[in-house]
Amino acid sequence: MSEIKGKTVIVTGGASGIGKAISMLFAEENAQVALLDIDVESATETVQEIRQNDGSVTFFECDVSDSEEVHETVDDVVDTYGGLDVLINNAGIAHVGTVEETTEEDLDRVYEVNVKGVYNCLKAGVEVMKGDGGGAIVNIASVASHVGIPDRFAYSMSKGAVLTMTYSVARDYVEDGIRCNAVSPARIHTPFVDGFLSENYPGEEEEMFEELSKTQPIGRMGDPEEVAKLCLYLSSDDAGFITGSSMPIDGGFMSLKD
């Protein structure tokens, strides 16, 4: 997409999983990628992969739950690349459990990253974009933002907040040229899924993988690259008429499930 070439893009949680796929695809499309993460080892590997393919990327170690650190990092990105055109709020953590099984510490931990972290990045990003004539923001929400998912009380809480923050920012800054949209994936096959199965279903990983895959009517999990492509479109000038939307990428999970 020529519409993304040369633009500066922040990807939070850009070192692995969906975030890695986003970082790599944007770099392939000749964007200038600012990869934010706390996992230095994985980030270093992703940066090396991108640079081996002649992509432009800089790693910024950043804890999105720390407001001061986020603002300092965004300032560093602007100093490095001269501005900010696109913000992808991908960083997030998971939690399994009903409300009874969710401790206050569990809830606080999920809130700090998935809600406060997105807020911190939105605040810092909007401040820059507003002064530069606009930009595009994509928040990674979830099907859990829209429908009830068993045993995902804290996670659903956080992703519901991501969706409503998306609507709020889109409404408040539309006249500043800032578009804000959300992407709502169902199950995506990432290293997190493999780790979850190994930890919780040792010896039954293959069977459980098939069972989880079939919860999507299309019969499989999504690929991180598929989510990345949707983020790329929403970030590009081709999506200039789209704001305040939540795009499902769920294999029919919300609309076709019995």
pLDDT at 225: 97
Determine contact, residues 64/117, Cβ cutoff 8 Å.
yes
Show the domains of the chain with their CATH numbers.
2-186+226-252 (3.40.50.720), 187-221 (no CATH)
Q: Give the distance, in angstroms, between the CA of residue 59 and the centroid of all CA atoms in the same chain.
A: 16
pLDDT in tens, 72-124: 999 999 999 999 999 999 999 999 999 999 999 999 999 999 999 999 999 99
Rounded to whole angstroms, how far apart are CA atoms 108 and 114?
10
pLDDT at 130: 96
Could you write out the DSSP letters of every residue in 11-52? EETTTSHHHHHHHHHHHHTT-EEEEEES-HHHHHHHHHHHHH
pLDDT at 258: 66
Rounded to whole angstroms, how far apart are CA atoms 106 and 170?
30
Which residue in this structure is represented by tokens 């990674």? 140
Active site residue 201: no
Rounded to whole angstroms, how far apart are CA atoms 68 and 223?
34
Strand residue runs (E) in the chain: 8-12, 32-37, 56-61, 86-89, 135-140, 178-185, 246-249
Active-site residue among 155, 167, 173, 233? Answer: 155
Below-50 pLDDT ranges, the chain: none
- How many Cα atoms occupy the beta-carbon half-sphere of 165 within 13 Å? 24
Q: Give the distance, in angstroms, between the CA of residue 54 and the centroid of all CA atoms in the same chain.
A: 24
The structure tokens listed for 132 are 């530069």
